[in-house]
Amino acid sequence: MKPLKLYFEDLNEGDLSPELIIDEVTRTMIVKYAGASGDFNPIHHDEVFAKEANLPTIFAMGMMNAGFVAHLVQDWLGIENITKYSVKFRERVWPGDQLKCVGKVLSKDEASKTVQVALTMVNQNDRPTIQATATAKLPVRC
C-alpha cells in the first residue's frame, strides 16, 4: 500500500482505511522475522518441537502479526503522526493463512486534532487474529 497524505479534515467517524492484504503467511516469512527480531523460540520454526508441544505446526510470532497492522496504520495515517499504538492478540497465525488488515475511525477530537482508530486483522475464516487501537495527531490544512 502506498502511504497516503491525510489531513485531520479528510477523516470522519466511521471512515475505513484501505485494506492491507497478506496473500499467504509462509514459513520463510516467519523464519526471516525470527532473524530480524532475534526471536528464535523453536515453537516458531522447528516443526518437531511444535508438534511435541501438541501444536499442529509452527506459528507466526505475535509481534510479526502486530507489525502487519502497524504497517497498515503507518501507511494510512503517517508514522510521524502516530502517538499511541496498542495491540491485543486474539488468535494464532499459521503458515498458509491469508490475512486482511483494516482500520476504522472511531472518533475525532477537534481540540487536539487527533483521531482514534480501531484496527483489525482477520484470517481467511474472518476470525480476528489482532485487534488494535491507535491515536494519531494529524496535520490541518490551514
Is 142 within the bounds of a domain? no
Range(s) of the domain holding residue 78: 8-137
Which of 3-12, 50-59, 116-125 is least confident? Answer: 3-12
Q: Does any domain span residue 2? A: no
Dist. CA 43–CA 28, nearest whole Å:
14
79 assigned to some structural domain:
yes
pLDDT (0 to 100) of residue 68: 97
What average pLDDT does the segment 38-54 reach? Answer: 96
2-27 mean pLDDT = 92
* 109 Cβ contact list (under 8 Å, min separation 6): 115, 116
pLDDT of 24: 98
Burial 65-74 (b: 16+ CB within 10 A, else e): bbbbbbebbb
Looking at the 3D structure of the chain, how many domains does it have?
1
Which pLDDT score is estimated for 2?
58
pLDDT digits (tens, 9 = 90+) for 81-123: 999 999 999 999 999 999 999 999 999 999 999 999 999 999 9
Residue 101, all three cell numbers? 488488515
Q: How confident is the model at residue 142 (pLDDT cuts 50, 70, 90)?
A: confident
111: DSSP letter: T
C-beta separation of 17 from 104 below 8 A: yes
Spell 90-115 as b/e; 16+ CB within 10 A means b: bbbbbbebebbbbbebeebeeeebbb
Confidence of residue 5 (pLDDT cuts 50, 70, 90): confident
Query: Does residue 1 form part of some domain?
Result: no
Banded pLDDT at 1 (limits 50, 70, 90): low
The CA distance from 60 to 31, in Å, is 9
Residue 24: inside a domain = yes
Give me the mean pLDDT over the 29-54 stretch. Answer: 96
pLDDT, mean of residues 52-67? 97
What CATH number corresponds to the domain at position 105? 3.10.129.10
Residue 3 lies in a domain: no
